[in-house]
Amino acid sequence: MKRQFELIKEAALRLRLDEAYEDDDISITAEGMPHGWILRVKIESAVRYLATARGEVRKFANLETVALLVSNLGYQTFKVDTENFQVGRLRGPRPDRAAAMKKARG
């Protein structure tokens, strides 16, 4: 059975975080998944997952990208949940891009 997520797009998340009160309970967690990470944001009792522009759960290949986004949202800390994380590539290799890069180099 596929998991259902309540989603929020980045622009709406930024707005909601900007409107949050200082005493609001806000937590940001990078949740492990097979070959990557998804971002869970809890504001008070509402839990949402960061969405892509197309309305799907946004997936991150590494935690550095998650950290950069969290920092750009104005937060310095986030939790990491590795329970469902599995090592591997989120996206498949791109031999066409590798060939184009080799050709461009010389």
Q: Is 35 exposed, middle or buried (0-12, 13-18, 19+ CB in 10 A)?
A: middle
State the 10-residue block means of pLDDT for the chain, 106 residues long: 78 89 86 93 92 94 94 92 79 74 81
CB 90 within 8 A of CB 35: yes
Domain locations in the chain as residue ranges: 7-105
Amino acid at 38: I
Give pTM, 2 decimals.
Answer: 0.74
Question: What pLDDT was estimated at residue 41?
Answer: 95
| 73 phi/psi in degrees, rounded to 5 | -80, -10
